[in-house]
Amino acid sequence: MNRVRYCHAFIIFFMIIAACSTKKPIDQTAYKSKTILATLRDMDKYYEKKDLDSFMSDISMSYLDREAFAKSLAAVFSKYESIHFNIQFAKMIMLIDQERKMRVTFTWDAEWTTAGTSIKDGGRVTLIFEPGDFKLVSIDGKNPFMAQPGETPSSKQ
């Protein structure tokens, strides 16, 4: 009887080892989600560093008014001494479809500072990415990368 138990335990042990040792290929949806998160982190980093060329490399050529967007970003980068941009990744919704554009909705907040004054803003926005190259193709909602006119500047303490 003990031999049978040891034999079963031995077989179960090797089945567990075999099951745990094989790597599953990453799911296509998981791959797309990770790539979009990496793109968002890059955009966040480039925006805070005021690196226009790197930031625009994540914007699709089919983005409506891409040149005007680049000029507006250049104006923001030259106007403000420092930019702090925060994406709340914990409050993010991703809609991934294999054939259609991918939508990412998240909450953000930002602070643009110059000469002792700052503008703070935030909100919820949906960014739409192309499925093939994961580049931003459009923004649904208030553009989080523009310091909105009419915001009340407050003195930095």
- Sketch the domain layout of the chain as residue ranges: 27-155
How confident is the model at residue 151, as a pLDDT? 44
Residue with tokens 């790597």: 23
pLDDT reading at 145 higher than 90? yes
Task: Give the model confidence (pLDDT) of 41-70 as tens digits.
Answer: 999 999 999 999 999 999 999 999 999 999
Q: What pLDDT is attached to residue 153?
A: 45
**What's the fold here for domain 27-155?**
Nuclear Transport Factor 2; Chain: A, (3.10.450)
Mean pLDDT taken over the chain: 84
Which of 14-23, 124-133, 134-143 has the lowest average pLDDT? 14-23
Q: How confident is the model at residue 14 (pLDDT cuts 50, 70, 90)?
A: low
Residue 127 one-letter amino acid? L
